[in-house]
Structure formats: C-alpha cells, structure tokens
Amino acid sequence: MKFVGLTPEIFWSLLGGMALIVALLYMLKLRRRRVTVPFSPIWARVMASRETRTLWNRLKRLLSLLVQIVFLALIISAIADPKPEDERLEGRNVVLLIDTSASMAAIDVSGGVDRLDIGRQRARDVLGTLGPLDNVMLVTMDGQLRPVTPFVKESAILGQQIADLKTTATPADIGQALRFVRDAVRGKKEAELHVFSDGAFSEDFLEAAEVLPTQVKVKHHRTGESGANVAVTAFNARRYIKNLQDYELYAEVRSYFEREVEVELQLYADNNLAEIKKLTIPPNGTAKQFFPDQGFSGKRLEARVKLVTADARDVFSADDSAYAVLPRTRDAHVALVTTGNLYLRAPFHAHPNVTIETIEPDAWTPELTAKADIVVFDRFAPKILPKQGNFMFIAPQGENSPWPVKGEVAGPVISSVSKKHPLARWLALKDTNIASAFKVETTKDDEIVATATGTPILIARRDDNRSMIALTFDITRSDLPLRVALPVLVLNAVDWFLAGDQSLVPTYKTGEAWTIPVSRDAEGAVIVDPSGKEHPVPVYEGKAIYYGQNTGFHTVRAGEDEFLLAANLADPKESNILPPEELDLGPRTLNVDSASVVQLHRDYWMYLIFGAIALLLLEWLSYNRRWTV
C-alpha cells in the first residue's frame, strides 16, 4: 500500500505528534470537586469501594486513549489517500480506431451481422476496461479520417457513437489514420492504439506504422474470418474512332478463392439485361472480357458478377457490380484564325459536335473569341494572348509566339511519337512528308509528343489557366492533309482541350477527390448521388471538386449543363478481404490485450472515514450504556 496524499515521513510525523498530544491530555490529573456531605457513614462507604474500582478506572482511561489514537490514525490515513502498490496513478490515453471501409461490410463472421458489427462489440469491450483516470478518443477510418470525439474521460458517451457507425464504399487509408494518431498522442504518456479492422490494408501497415512513436502500444482486434470473394475490378466504355455510334466495353473480374470458380458476367444497359458471359477463373486469378461493337440507346451501363459454383459463397457484395456511362458528346465552339486554309477547316467540320467560326488574322481581337472553347491560330501568333482558354498553334512564328523560334529545319523526318499521350492515340506520323519545320524553344511545362531527330514537332502545354498545342510545321507544305492522321489529331486535340477524353470516359474511384470538367461559365455545381441526395460543390476554372464515397451513377448539374458520371470501388486491395492473422509491425510487438488492461480504481480513504465514524458511534454507545464512565 502507498500513500498519494501525504509522504510517509509526513504521515508518521503527523500521527506521532497527534498521538503524543492526546496522550498528554490523558495524563493531566483530574481535579476533584470538594463536596460536603451531612452524613459520614455514606462517605465512609464511598471511600471503602474506591480501592476496588481504581484498577478498572485506569483500564477504562487506557481504553479511551487507545480509541482516540485509533480515531486519529484513521483520519490521518484517509487524508494520506492510500492506494495499492500496483495501481496506476496516471490514466491511459486510448485511441479506438474503427475501420468503416467497404470490406467491413463482409458477412463472413459468426456472432455478428457483418465485420463492422464485430468491431463495434469489441470496441465496447475495451470501453468497459477503462478507469476514471483514462482518456479515450474515437476515430473512424475509411477513405477519409473522421475523429468522432476528442479525448474524453466520459467513456459512456461513446456507446451510442459506436452504435451509429456505418460502412462506406471507400477503401481504408491506413497511412492517413496513423499520421493522425501520431499527432493526437504527441506528448501524452501511456498511449494505446486499438485497431478494429479486418486488416485489408495489411500490405501497407508496416510502412505506415513507422510514423508512430515507439512507446505507443498497439492492439489489432481482428474482425474477419474468410477471404471468399469475386469482384468486378475494372469496367469501362470507349467509342470507336471509325464509328462514333458504336462502343467497345471492357470488364475485369477477379477471384480471391483458393480454387477455380465459375462466374457469370452480366451486362446491363439502362437496367436491362443485354448480355451474359460465363467465365472460369483460376485460383486467385483474373478474367478479362471485351464486348466489341456494342450499340446502345441508353447511357447507364452496369457489369455484375454472379458466382455460379454450387459450393462456393461470395461473402462481400459491395464489389459485385461496376458502373460506366457511355461517352457523352459535348458541343464545342472553335474559332479558326486563318487565311483560307481549307485543309484545316475540313477536319473540324468532320467532328459532329464542333461548330466553326472563321476569323481573318487581321480582324482578330481577344473579344471575338471570348466565348470560344478552342482557338486555332494558323501561321499566326497574336500580340495579346488571353490568359485563359484553349489554344492550338499551327506553325507558330514571330516575336509573339509562345514558343520562341530559333531557326528552321528542312525536310524533317518524324522519328519518335509518345504513344502514351492522349494527342498521339491512333496517330501515325512517322511517314509524314514535311517541307520544313521551325526550331522552337521549349520549357519545363512542355510535353514533347512527337520529334524529328530531336526537333519538337508536336508539343502540348498546360499552365495555370491555359492549355496549348503547337504543331511546328505548316500543314499546307506537307502531305498531312492527305492522311487520316490529320482528322485523328484534330479529334484528339478537341478531346484533350475539353479535358474529357470523350472517347474513353473515366469511371471515378470512391475514396478520392474527383475533378469533374464542367462549363467554365458555371459558378457552382450540384452533384446528386445514387441515393438522390444533392451535394452543392465548388467550381474552380471549369472544374468541380467533389469527394466521392458512393458507388453508382451520379448526376452533375452545372449551369445549363447536366450529365452522368459513374463511380466504382475498383480497389483490388479492398476486395482482398482475407484478414491477416496479425498486422506486421516488424520489430514492434502487438503487446496490449484488452482483457488484461482492467484497472479498478478504489478510493480507500472513504472506508477509513466510515471506520472512524463507526468508532465514534461505538464510543458513544459505551458512554450511553455507562460502560466506560
């Protein structure tokens, strides 16, 4: 037993001093009062019995002294606040990190509805081990980190908070979570982290845990049992360059079973079943499926995977469907600043969603193209280039060129093309005959798409508010207009400028901030999620920014523009739901067991006070019954 209210030296000094004072008080001689009695025989009888009672009186006085000393000892001990030797005097700082990512919706667990339900139960068990000195913080983790509470001592209030937790359709970001825990426990002693998760992020945990201070104790409460799952991990649609009315679909299905399984891949268009493919997937394997030459009247596409192996069970349904939308056609207004270059006009006329306005170079002013989506300068560089917009330069020259001209190359032969760049998709330029090309000076912001023995031929540049393309030769002095490469280049340029790659519509991934191209005139946008809830979002320079956490079709409204986009989980790590036996911390040990952290804090001083009161009552009873008087 140890004292936390007084030091042992002060305790014994105080007790000894007070006991000495009480003893001195008892040693004072009792002064008797003289009483004159009229009858001497009565006084003689009293004097006769005095000798027989002297020993008992002395004993009664010693007993009273002992009671007073014990009473003092009890009071001083209560002030000293005794505690057991093994009891902690400082509380723990406990962080409950509950995984609410998509994989926690798996229904492979016994004793609960899903994995999150097991996590809730075990979190409540840990709450039951907390003492009055402990602080606890509740944090949830999925694609975003959400501190539900700060550090609080009233752990009872967390019960309802835990009960209200729900899973999202986003993967877990363990790195962000552990960085937050590091900051939350900085400077705090007795820090503990309890992770309630299936550990779908186990591959990234070791590296992420490096940020935690070494004194932080960690416990992983495992919530899953099985890894049985099949998932659609990729799904998209793109249009054909040769036929803008037909599309090609691509789907990827992955199995996480340890044996071969059979599945059905079902394709839906506007919620109507369009096609079924039966696939056999090897253990932990992937099957890829193309649907060529598809013509749909609808816009909403969905791929669903269904497990047909009789004795197999898919325990995770959130990744059984994937969504895509057909590429939307967007009208674009092109201002063509040229002098009678019919070769350049023709490819733009071939684009079904482009309207053209032709302007003579001498008549050009920035105001004339203020509403143009794309401005093409043919063998002309304006003195004043607007600070915002999309600009294409054909043979840029003169002192106003964004690419200063340093010379000219005769008969350049195109030697390399960056096939990964969107401008080079389906583009064949190597056999192009060119009379001459300008040598231009490039910057670090330029992407060289095509070169002729080191001379840039096709350049792309994006800066703060402008997108620009430069073709460094005069197309009228080449055979490019006679090749299919020119309309292909124009189509790619329009798609690149409008930032939409309209031939291949990207599906958005949940758990990320989406950058959605909208009209530059839009001051704001509204996104309607699959549940019908509206989310106002900001628009900056023609981009709407939105954090996506729901799979399915979303409607985007920006100004007069309205269109669909599709969102998918599309995360092979999150679909790999087999829980690890324990998280790998390298040299660190998962050294906290929730069953061993119970600390009962008892205030023994109260019992001492009750004992002192009981002693006083006993003394009163002895006095009242005339036992000690």
- 515-549: pLDDT as tens digits: 888 877 788 899 999 999 999 999 987 889 999 99
pLDDT digits 0-9 by tens, 91-141: 789 999 999 999 999 999 888 789 999 999 999 999 988 877 889 999 999
Residue-level pLDDT at 242: 47
Query: What pLDDT is stored for residue 451 in this prediction?
Result: 93
Q: Is the model more confident about 600 or about 603?
A: 603
Question: What would the pLDDT profile of 505-520 be if each residue is shown by its tens digit?
Answer: 678 999 999 988 887 7
- Give the rounded percent of residues in the chain with a pLDDT score beyond 70: 82
Number of other CB atoms surrounding residue 506 within 10 Å? 12
C-alpha–C-alpha distance, residues 222 and 194, integer Å = 11
- Domain coordinates in residue numbering, the chain: 2-87+603-624, 93-226+577-596, 230-329, 332-497, 508-564
Return the closest-CA partner of residue 173 out of 133, 213, 138, 146.
146
Domains 93-226+577-596 and 230-329 share a fold: no
Strand locations in 115-259 (E): 135-141, 145-147, 191-197, 217-222, 230-239, 247-255
**Which tens digit of pLDDT belongs to each residue from 294-304?**
666 567 899 99
Please check the confidence at residue 326 and state whether its pLDDT lies above 60: yes
Q: Collect all residues with Cβ–Cβ distance below 8 Å to 163 and sequence separation of at least 6.
A: 120
Least confident of 52-66, 78-92, 106-120: 52-66
Q: Tell me the whole-structure pTM to 2 decimals.
A: 0.62
241, pLDDT greater than 80: no
| Rg, Å, the chain Cα set | 42
436-474 pLDDT per residue, tens? 999 999 998 899 999 998 899 999 998 877 899 999 999
pLDDT beyond 80 at 260: yes
- Who wins on pLDDT, 326 or 84? 326
Do the Cβ atoms of 357 and 333 come closer than 8 Å?
yes
Q: What is the pLDDT of residue 60?
A: 63
- CATH numeric code, 332-497: 3.40.50.880
The whole-number average pLDDT for the span 280-301 is 83
Q: How far apart are alpha carbons 170 and 513 in whole angstroms?
A: 12
- Is 49 or 273 the better-scoring residue by pLDDT? 273
Q: Read off the pLDDT of each residue in 37-52 and give the average, rounded to a whole number.
A: 58
* Average pLDDT over the chain, rounded to an integer: 83
Q: Are the C-beta atoms of 230 and 254 separated by less than 8 Å?
A: yes
Q: Residue range 36-48: average pLDDT? A: 60
DSSP state, 396? -
Return the CATH fold of 93-226+577-596: Rossmann fold (3.40.50)
Instruction: Give the residue, 613 or 321, on which the prediction is more confident.
Output: 321
Going by the DSSP 8-state scheme, the letter that residue 51 receives in this structure is: H
Which range is least confidently modeled, 313-327, 374-388, 589-603?
589-603
pLDDT at 600: 46
Contact between 281 and 287 under an 8 Å Cβ cutoff? The reply is: yes
**Helices assigned H by DSSP within 338-484:** 342-350
Q: Is the pLDDT of residue 604 over 50?
A: yes
Q: Judge whether residue 64 has pLDDT over 50.
A: yes
pLDDT at 317 over 70: yes
Residue of 219, 280, 284, 282 lying closest to 256 (CA atoms)? 284
CATH for 230-329 is: 2.60.40.10
Tokens of 5: 């209210």
Residue 150 above 90 pLDDT? Answer: yes
SS3 content of the chain, % helix, strand, coil (to 5): 30, 30, 40
Residue 275 CB contacts under 8 Å (≥ 6 apart), including other chains: 266, 267, 291
- Residue 386's Cβ-count burial label (10 Å; 0-12, 13-18, 19+) is middle
